[in-house]
Structure 1
Amino acid sequence: MKIEILFEDNYCVIVNKPNNVLIHNSYYARNIKDATLLNLLKEQLNLELFPVHRLDRKTSGVLVLTKQKEYVAVFQELFNSNAIKKSYLGIVRGFVEEELNITSPVKNPDTKVYKDASTICIPLQKIELNIAVHPYEFSRYSLVKLLPETGRMHQLRIHMNKISRPIIGDYKYGDRFHNRMFENEFNCNNLFLHADSIQFSHPILNNKINVKATLPTDWSTIFKDFNWKF
């Protein structure tokens, strides 16, 4: 599997992470034996890289890594100070009619303590299909832009479920009937959550970085079948 390189300089590499690839081995994914993103990049670039932030295994899109371990804290400070703008795209069940600010607290999986979390959800496109999905004789979907203002684990997936607009392909927080319909009707099995872009001022060079990640193949299938433009 070749990883798409979106940006590279002497300090960092920004990649387009595929669906269903772990960034690195972890306790939570101890049963998954597939090659990690770090393994794949080491083989591809002959470099040991260090992730600055997280993406869920099932989520695709923009990920920033550094070339030296000591640079991680320098880049992470951009996240800590909200100096980075991250944008995600999602396909969700139901219609999202207006911009929403979702502020439900999210539980930390280690401490079990709920922490404040905030996500902006912006509707982009919607469609109603004459395809029955239990318990209805039709089905509705929205394309949304998601702007996380905090960085809790599974935050976007949890927040969309909280407003009854779960992300398609989410088997933990989503709707199994709609997930199954996408599998059967469109042969799409992946999570429809994609880290679309990232913008920040380079913490060492001070130049502006603005990177977008191309969408996975499943998205092209759905955009074509739904006649959505993006």
Structure 2
Amino acid sequence: MSIELVYEDDWLVAVNKAPGLLVHRSWLDRHETRFAMQLTRDAVGCHVFPVHRLDRPTSGLLLFAKNAGVARTLTEDFGERRVNKTYLALVRGYLEGEGRLDYALSRELDDIADKFADADKPAQDAITRWQGLDRVELPVAVSKKHATSRYSLVQLSPETGRKHQLRRHMAHLRHPIVGDTSHGDGRHNRFFRDHYQCNRLMLHAARLSLTHPVTAEPLRLDAPLDETWRSLICEFGWESTLATSELAG
């Protein structure tokens, strides 16, 4: 198995992570043998350092540094919100216009990894900007309450980096992301699996915009959409919308 490189220089390498691929080895997934960090190292022929997170089911841009010093700088840039992150999501319902959700999130604990963590820790601030790009109405009654089913293509820009922030914020807005098995709607997830062979979370890290940590030049990185995304965009007639959006390559 190989990984798609989207950018490389003497200090950085960016890849387009496939959905379902772990960033690095974790004792919570002891039986997994493939990791983005390992695949990237093999592709570029040197050790790489992860500088930010990307959930396992999320696809898209993952940035690594080639040395520890650059990694520290980039990690600080992400932590201080100096890196702009842009995602695409397919959500349930019509989400039109644009907005900014400022909704604090309590810490989401894992039964094993966070066994001894403080469950009463105060909620952390979490901010997400969103913009509805397009929508579709299908003549299918996925829910018994409605004769049709509606979905939207949405651009998301997190200003903070909380665990599962985008998935939890969209669920809070009552527009859960399709394919989200933790915070989504199982009926719509099943519909997409059965009718579109869509077996993944429809959340894609499409772009990173940052200042290069060594050259100080502005750097914009884009990750192409995979076949599942391209197929659904074609199915719903969203090609022109995506082409004219700011996410056009």
State the TM bucket, normalised to the shorter chain: over 0.9
TM-score by length of 2: 0.88
Tell me the residue number matched to 2:141: 132
Deviations 1:105-155 (A, max 9, x none): 112235443201000110000010001202232110000000101000100
Q: Percent identity?
A: 38
From 213, 224, 227, the equivalent of 2:234 is 224
Mapping for residues 96-115 of structure 1, pairs under 5 Å? 96-108=95-107, 109=109, 110=114, 111-112=118-119, 113=121, 114-115=123-124
Tell me the residue number matched to 2:91: 92
Are positions 1:195 and 2:195 aligned together? no
TM-score by length of 1: 0.95
Tell me the residue number matched to 1:166: 176
**Corresponding letter in the other structure for 2:57:** K
Q: Distance in 1 between matches of 2:133 and 2:127?
A: 19
Tell me the residue number matched to 1:17: 17
How far the C-alpha of 1:103 sits from its partner, in A, is 1.6
Deviations 1:18-37 (A, max 9, x none): 1100001224x435514111
Question: Number of residues paired by the alignment?
Answer: 229
Deviations 1:7-63 (A, max 9, x none): 111111111111100001224x43551411112222322222111000000001111
Q: Distance in 2 between matches of 1:31 and 1:139?
A: 39
Q: Distance in 2 between matches of 1:67 and 1:37?
A: 14
Structure 1, 148-157 or 110-119: larger mean CA deviation: 110-119
Query: Using a 3 Å threshold, how does the CA distance of structure 1 residues 200 and 67 change in structure 2: closer, same or farther?
Result: same
Q: Distance in 1 between matches of 2:75 and 2:38?
A: 22
Q: Distance in 1 between matches of 2:157 and 2:236?
A: 24
Query: Using a 3 Å threshold, how does the CA distance of structure 1 residues 205 and 99 change in structure 2: closer, same or farther?
Result: same
Q: Distance in 2 between matches of 1:130 and 1:30?
A: 40
Tell me the residue number matched to 1:6: 6
Mapping for residues 55-74 of structure 1, pairs under 5 Å? 55-74=54-73
CA contact (8 A) 2:15 2:40 kept: no
Structure 1, 79-88 or 166-175: larger mean CA deviation: 79-88
Structure 1, 124-133 or 70-79: larger mean CA deviation: 70-79
From 141, 163, 167, the equivalent of 2:151 is 141
Structure 1 gaps, min length 5? none
Structure 1, 117-126 or 8-17: larger mean CA deviation: 8-17
From 175, 183, 189, the equivalent of 2:185 is 175
CA contact (8 A) 2:91 2:152 kept: yes
Structure 1, 74-83 or 121-130: larger mean CA deviation: 74-83
Tell me the residue number matched to 2:76: 77
Q: Distance in 2 between matches of 1:149 and 1:5?
A: 26
Tell me the residue number matched to 1:153: 163
SS at match of 2:235: helix
Structure 2 gaps, min length 5? 243-249
SS at match of 1:33: coil
Q: Distance in 1 between matches of 2:73 and 2:143?
A: 49
Tell me the residue number matched to 1:119: 128
Structure 1, 73-82 or 118-127: larger mean CA deviation: 73-82
